[in-house]
A = this chain, B = another copy of it.
């Protein structure tokens, strides 16, 4: 059986370090979130909010224009762009560090066109997080993946659609084989979320059923985007994002039967400040 390593607090504490004094928003990356059709606008808001509160230097949401107002009403910190405006995306995407595609995107023809545009424009040096309906589209349309750093964030059913592995057959061995065939990192969302990357398999040690509410996955994409945008070690950044999202929920769950996406995003800055204050000695005792 394959060895799974545990994602624990010390990885997060080693990743979220105090920022250097003489740094600027440009040092913390520009994240583009793509998604949110006329029915699922909330999903792209939640992903974008997590990217902003998670510390990305700049965040732009490419979404259906019907979502511009609701996004800005609670998140003036983000910029917006029409996700069907190919000319604009063509200018914008090369300037990004990290792109999230999928939250609330839907699976209709327009969604597919948008996804194809992103796949066409993404650059090899960028990180592309593929979530939700974008995973379904990749699976259903057998789309060719672009040549870039990809992170898939499926739940077990989406993973089945993508790989053909039924939930009960999703063993570490089979998952790893599928992940390596995809040439991508995979965050397989479940009770104890698993992260497959290169030749490593990691398992989350925190998180609970207070996260069992719509939007938790959208929020996770934003946290991952912010972390890989701003932290040097991309693997640890990814693992830290998975842990942080769940650990905040656990902390809030002391006083909340469900931990809603907006609650988790709003708690990101203080959780990250806590982590940044830890010294190596603290970490041992954590």
Interface size on A, residues (CB 8 A): 70
Q: Report the bound CA distance from A57 to B55 in whole Å.
A: 28
A173-181, A234-242, A265-273: which lies at the interface? A265-273
A57 near B209: Cβ-Cβ < 8 Å: no
Q: Report the bound CA distance from A235 to B76 in whole Å.
A: 30
Residues 184-212 of A contacting B (Cβ, < 8 Å): 191, 208-210, 212
A61-69, A115-123, A125-133, A142-150: which lies at the interface? A61-69
The answer, yes or no, to whether A138 is at the interface (CB within 8 Å) is: no
B76 near A49: Cβ-Cβ < 8 Å: yes
Which B residues touch A255, using CB under 8 A? 269-270, 273
The answer, yes or no, to whether A45 is at the interface (CB within 8 Å) is: yes
- Chain B nearest CB: distance from A17 CB in Å? 10
A58 near B257: Cβ-Cβ < 8 Å: no
Given A23-B212, A53-B260, A66 contacting B68 (CB threshold 8 A): yes
The answer, yes or no, to whether A13 is at the interface (CB within 8 Å) is: no
The answer, yes or no, to whether A28 is at the interface (CB within 8 Å) is: yes
Residues 27-78 of A contacting B (Cβ, < 8 Å): 27-28, 38-43, 45-46, 49, 52-53, 55-59, 66-78
Given A76-B46, A81-B39, A255-B270, A25 contacting B216 (CB threshold 8 A): yes
Copies of this chain assembled into the complex: 4
A252 closest partner in B (C-beta): B269
Q: Report the bound CA distance from A57 to B39 in whole Å.
A: 17
Q: Report the bound CA distance from A197 to B257 in whole Å.
A: 28
Interface centre among A67, A69, A76 (most CB of B within 10 A): A76
A27 near B270: Cβ-Cβ < 8 Å: no
B21 near A209: Cβ-Cβ < 8 Å: yes
A212 near B257: Cβ-Cβ < 8 Å: no
The answer, yes or no, to whether A259 is at the interface (CB within 8 Å) is: yes
A85 closest partner in B (C-beta): B39
B81 near A210: Cβ-Cβ < 8 Å: no
Given A53-B258, A69-B69, A260-B53, A76 contacting B215 (CB threshold 8 A): yes
Q: Which of B22, B77, B79, B273 contacts A253 (CB 8 A)?
A: B273
A73 closest partner in B (C-beta): B73
Q: Which of B21, B45, B76 contacts A76 (CB 8 A)?
A: B45
The answer, yes or no, to whether A262 is at the interface (CB within 8 Å) is: yes
A74 near B74: Cβ-Cβ < 8 Å: yes
B214 near A25: Cβ-Cβ < 8 Å: yes
The answer, yes or no, to whether A286 is at the interface (CB within 8 Å) is: no
Which B residues touch A53, using CB under 8 A? 258, 260
CB-based closest 5 A-B pairs: A257-B272, A42-B76, A19-B209, A70-B72, A256-B269
